[in-house]
Amino acid sequence: MTDMTSSVQSTFVRPAQARRDIGIKRRYAAERRFKAYGLTAILIGLFFLFVLLWTVVSKGYTAFQQTAITLPIEFSEKIIDPKNERGANPAKLMTANYPLLVRDALVKALGIDPANKPLVKQATDMVSASARTQLRDLVVANPAIIGTTATVSLLAEGNIDSANKGQIDLTVAEANRKVKDQQIEWMKKLSETGAMAKQFNTGLFTYGASSRPEASGIGVAALGSLYMMLIVLVLALPIGVAASIYLEEFAPKNRLTDLIEVNINNLAAVPSIVYGLLGLSIFINFAGMPRSAAVVGGLVLTLMTLPTIIIATRAALKAVPPSIRSAALGLGASKMQTIFHHVLPLAMPGVLTGTIIGLAHALGETAPLLLIGMVAFVVDYPGSPMDPSTALPVQIYMWANEAERAFVERTSGAIMILLIFLVVMNLGAILLRRRFERRW
Amino acid sequence: MNMMSEAAVEKALDQKMNTVPFKMIGKDVSVYYGEKRALFDVNLNVRENTVTALIGPSGCGKSTFLRTLNRMNDTIDSCRVTGKITLDDGDIYDPSIDVVELRARVGMVFQKPNPFPKSIYENVTYGPKIHGLARTKADLDQIVETSLQKAGLWNEVKDRLHESGTGLSGGQQQRLCIARAVAVSPEVILMDEPCSALDPIATAKVEELIHELRTNYTIVIVTHSMQQAARVSQRTAMFHLGNLVEENDTDKMFTNPDDQRTQDYIMGRFG
């Protein structure tokens, strides 16, 4: 205090040029240095972001294509239903020897001697084992196809697919690679006739888990994730907003509410795997809910998302100018009317942003789902949230553990899809913010 | 008149406006913010259809007193009010009194114009809607028109009622806030430095408006401007350090005040 008054007096008395050195040059130098640090930090961040995206995209973009072998398949009645029982017992169609159809078609297309068993085996290995179910589904859906010849596009086996995309080094010794010389020759032949070609990989979006990479996709996992997101949205948004409104507007400010506030802030920082343990012990072991079900996953993710939503909502409520509250109260609005007619609508952009960020966080969460058994090999679409299902990030985690080259590209491909989902959700948050934002 | 204490009656007899009945009576009003006492046993009565100005240096308790009149202090957790304030014989701090009802009868205009970020129309109709004053759209339209006319804003905004209220100029926003307060047909309008955020032209318009509103409403206005108090009010009350120093006819207050402190403040010797 004395310093201040004395300097005020002395500057008043002293002439301007005699002012004491306050280090103008140093100040500007410090400012320039600080700007340089900031710029460096941003550049480093951008570099790593670029490296991350480059790695994922360069590895993953091939996952969106899949090699298919298109063959004229003769749906011979002799093979599918030799005793003509399908009228009496349609289940016969389910167990027919469909791989034989594929073998015959390959033998014909490649001109192999059917008696040469090892050669025929090499040929049939080029087509995915999923061809059995593909042909079965065709026949079951349309039994009239039996006895005719139809052109069917079959999935190439994973290694053939990888070789066709140039991902397998074909120059190494034949014994050290999965694709044999004879198969390479056939691939060339099939490619020349146009029977083997790459096409857009719709299966990546529709299939479920499979041990064969060419027949595995994220469809089932995506549906599981969708169920969980809906559960999180339906539970976390109303609970979170109601809790925030109560804490921010109605609760008395005392030790207890302070404690609750501190705890909510801490809960936002609790490692997500702890929520998984909580879900395991409460929802599965105590409440007896089904294992690996989206409903449990949704509940666990709700618990995890709640603190984020509550913190965002409280911040948004706090940011509403008090003059708006006074205006409404001064007109005789009740507290509830003030909040629901004026404060909450103005806080809505913040609430929605917080909710979507929380949902995006939940969508990418893996650890808690591992503990409640959602690391499951789920082939069929879950009919309801109570059925066993898995989630997108868990599917990525499981694929990342697989050895085949074709799973590596699928892992990156699935990461790309997940990232696109997250970007879309964040864009949605920004757009909602713009849409609801009001200036005063 | 029969509500008045003997002392107040005696005092009133000496005054020019002694025939005007009291609308609100404050008796021994004290306000505490937690441990801190902000008002000390203030006895101040507000006369009907009169503009009462509350003046005094910053932090003297004039805004605090104003806010006790429609219980806006209730919104502050630590705030406690003792004493008695009546509106037309009814104690406004009585537990049976609904604060919503009270605020519909005692409206308020704030220091900073605070229209809702909604259309001009919605700003004016919000009060009537929550108090159920209008049944039909036509009723609401009528309320909007008369309220805006009373606030002297109708001609300026009648063609853009559905544009945002926040798009108006500062002075227009403040008049919109007055229209919004008037729309619920209050009996008393409290104004907390309504012109402090406005330029001189807008201030002049609001002052003119206050003058006109006086015929239908009882107005209590807090102001920092001596000239404004002199221009718009008939009665003036001077606060200092939480005490009511003097309450008198405005003419007398600005020419020949009873209290030395009032004279000093009006002359600009402190404050």
**A132-181: per-residue pLDDT in tens?**
888 888 888 888 888 888 888 999 988 899 888 888 888 888 888 888 88
Has residue A305 got a pLDDT over 50?
yes
Beta strands A65-74 and A196-200, pairing class: antiparallel
Which CATH number does B6-266 carry? 3.40.50.300
Cross-strand partners of A153: A70
Q: Is the pLDDT of residue A250 over 50?
A: yes
Q: How confident is the model at residue A440 (pLDDT cuts 50, 70, 90)?
A: very low
Q: How far apart, in whole angstroms, are the C-alpha atoms of residue B154 and residue B124?
A: 12
Give the number of other Cβ atoms within 10 Å of residue A334's Cβ.
16
B207: left (phi over 0), alpha (psi -120 to 50) or beta: alpha
Q: Which of A326, A332, A346 sits opposite B114 (nearest CB)?
A: A326
Q: How confident is the model at residue A5 (pLDDT cuts 50, 70, 90)?
A: very low
Q: How far is A332 from chain B (nearest CA, A)?
A: 4
Chain A residue numbers with beta carbons less than 8 Å from the beta carbon of B75 are: 325-326, 329
Per-residue burial over A113-132, b if 16 or more Cβ lie within 10 Å, else e, is eeeeeebbebbbbbbbbbbb
pLDDT of residue A1: 43
Chain A residues with CB within 8 Å of chain B CB: 252-253, 321, 323-334, 337, 341-342, 346, 438-440
Q: Nearest by CB to B72, which of A330, A334, A346?
A: A330
Q: What integer is the mean pLDDT of A184-203? A: 89
B104 to chain A, closest Cα gap in Å:
5
**CA within 13 Å, CB half, A218:** 28
Residues of chain B positioned with their CB less than 8 A from the CB of A333: 100, 126, 130
Stretches where chain B sits below pLDDT 70 are 1-18, 270-271
Are the C-beta atoms of residues B175 and B206 closer than 8 Å to each other? yes
Minimal Cβ distance to A331: which of B77, B103, B117: B103
B118 to chain A: closest CA residue = A438
pLDDT at B183: 92
pLDDT at B10: 45
Confidence of residue A90 (pLDDT cuts 50, 70, 90): confident
Helix (H, G, I), strand (E, B) or coil at B10: helix
Would the CB atoms of A330 and B108 count as touching at under 8 Å?
yes
- pLDDT at position A113: 85
Mean of the pLDDT values across residues A233-244? 95
pLDDT at A19: 67
Which H helix or E strand runs over A197? strand A196-200
Domain assignments of chain B as residue spans, ordered by start: 6-266
pTM reported for the whole predicted model: 0.81
Q: At what angle do helices A98-110 and A131-141 cross, to 10 degrees?
A: 110
Q: Which two tokens stand for residue A55?
A: 């790695």
SS3 of A66, please? strand
What is the rounded distance in angstroms from the CA atom of residue A72 to the CA atom of residue A56?
37
Q: Among A257, A331, A342, pick the best mutation site for testing chain B contact (most B Cβ within 10 A).
A: A331
At which residue do the structure tokens 């959602």 appear? Answer: A374
Query: So what's the pLDDT on residue A170?
Result: 85
The mean pLDDT of A62-69, rounded to a whole number, is: 90
Cβ distance B174 to B197 under 8 Å?
yes
In terms of phi and psi (left: phi > 0; alpha: psi -120 to 50; beta: otherwise), the region of A166 is: left
Which is more confident, A187 or A44? A44
Say whether B72 and A346 touch across the interface (CB within 8 A).
no
Q: What is the pLDDT of residue A18?
A: 64
Indicate the residue of B77, B110, B126 with minimum beta-carbon distance to A326. B110
Average pLDDT over residues A328-346: 91
The pLDDT of residue A176: 84
Binary contact (B77, A253; C-beta < 8 A): yes
**What is the DSSP secondary structure assignment for residue B72, as one 8-state letter?**
G
Tokens at A81, concatenated: 């239903």
In 3D space, the residue among A238, A257, A254, A248 whose CA is nearest the CA of residue A311 turns out to be A248
Nearest chain B residue (CA) to A321: B114
A251 contacts on B by Cβ (under 8 Å): none
The reply to whether residue B126 touches residue A331, judged by beta carbons under 8 angstroms, is: yes
Judging contacts by C-beta atoms under 8 Å, the chain B residues touching residue A252 are: 77
Q: A341 vs B70: CB contact, 8 Å cut-off?
A: no
Closest CA of chain B from A322, distance in Å: 10
Closest CA relative to residue A210, chosen from A416, A401, A399: A399
State residue A25's pLDDT score.
87
The DSSP element (H or E) to which B86 belongs, if any, is: strand B79-87
Pair B200, B225: CB distance under 8 Å: no
Q: Do A323 and B114 touch (CB under 8 A)?
A: yes
Number of CB pairs < 8 Å for A and B? 68
Q: Express each pLDDT in A194-235 by its tens digit.
A: 888 888 988 889 988 888 888 899 999 999 999 999 999 999
Asked whether A225 and A392 are in contact (CB, 8 A), the reply is yes
Measured between its terminal Cα atoms, the distance across chain A in Å is 40
Tokens of A439: 């200036």
CA A342, chain centre distance (Å) = 37
d(Cα B152, Cα B172) in Å, to the nearest integer?
9
Q: How far apart are CA A313 and CA A316, in angstroms?
A: 5
Contacts of A329 in chain B (CB under 8 A): 72, 75, 103
* Residue A330 to residue B166, Cβ atoms within 8 A: no
DSSP 3-state helix, strand, coil percentages of chain A (rounded to 5)? 70, 5, 25
Shortest distance, CA A329 to any CA of chain B (angstroms): 8
**Cβ A323–B110 below 8 Å, yes or no?**
yes
The reply to whether residue A333 touches residue B130, judged by beta carbons under 8 angstroms, is: yes
Residue in A329, A334, A439 closest to B72 by CB = A329
Confidence at residue B227, expressed as pLDDT on a 0 to 100 scale: 87
**From A330, A341, A438, residue closest to B103, measured CB to CB:** A330
pLDDT above 80 for A17: no
- The CB density around residue B181, as the number of other CB atoms within 10 Å, is 28
Identify all chain B residues contacting A438, using CB atoms and an 8 Å cutoff: 117, 166
Closest chain A residue to B179, measured at CA: A331
Domains belonging to chain A, first-starting first, are 61-201 (no CATH), 219-436 (1.10.3720.10)
B106 near B70, Cβ under 8 Å?
yes
The confidence score (pLDDT) of residue B143 equals 92
Cβ contact A157:A127 at 8 Å? yes
